[in-house]
Structure 1
């Protein structure tokens, strides 16, 4: 697994951990922003919209910032089911389509330029969805509202501005 994949996996695990030593930076519609000065890191996060489809776990999207590592706006997803190795999960925001990398229930952008394109699309979009095929051969989709996403990402950016110094 490459370093980007390890960092994305670590982001998912860190975000999923109990809220010990985390500061809330605010809740903006369906998105929240948090800071963890002990790591240091900040992130914007949202749960997927409710669904009647089978879910093995609660899906969520996160945009992470690790100022001491020079990482800004790293996009990652925790999927509602374990995805099959192929085809890759797909993120759709409006008319934009992004092929994601992934393993099991985790998915992430392939590189920094894709992270930046996704963040820009999120700022302009109203909804996004991540679709994949599960390990049983069934297609599934996790859907998100984007109201508040831009403000939560801005709060995370500002919240981490001084942590990297």
Structure 2
């Protein structure tokens, strides 16, 4: 179901849906749409809405299934909160950065998750997501090797907008 002129990719749709089936029971979510590599979902039980994507496939080692979400929690008055599940567990004290649209952000991170330092950074990352082609998360894994998770951003703006609109009234 492509919208706003975006081309739906079968591989992107399958990856997003497979990821969601692994995360929680499917009955808890309503699909709002899939655009290229990005999907948007509403979970009325929480309540929350989110856009989600997996990074491009990689032949490098991974400790888990990485993904990125941009979430909205209407009852908490939170909107546009970025979160990453990293492909590798990070080394103690290692920096994790997000590079998008010519700008690099140093993220907060713990074990295998990362997030923006504050709401201002959330907003800056999201603004860059809307016009950039890719976003790369990088850091040092516990084994000392550098890891990179690269996300294609085609469809990201549509998925973020659908997630925001999907939470109206929750």
Q: Specify the TM-score bucket, using the shorter chain as the normaliser.
A: 0.7 to 0.9
Q: CA RMSD in A?
A: 1.1
4+ residue runs of structure 1 moved beyond 4 angstroms? none
Among 134, 137, 154, which residue is 1:127 paired with?
Answer: 134
Aligned equivalents of 2:55, 2:123: Cα separation in 1: 21
Deviations along 1:40-98, one digit per CA (max 9) or x if unpaired, are 00000001100010111121100000001000000000001101132320000021100
What residue is the counterpart of 2:98 in the other structure?
A: 91
Q: How many residues align?
A: 149
Q: Offset at 1:124?
A: 1.0
Consecutive unaligned residues of structure 2, counting only runs of 5 or more, are 1-21
How do residues 1-165 of structure 1 correspond to structure 2 at under 5 angstroms? 16-163=23-170
What SS is found at the alignment partner of 2:130? helix
Q: Distance in 1 between matches of 2:164 and 2:151?
A: 21
Q: Structure 1 unaligned segments of length 5 or more: list them.
A: 1-14
> What is the TM-score with the length of structure 2 in the denominator?
0.85
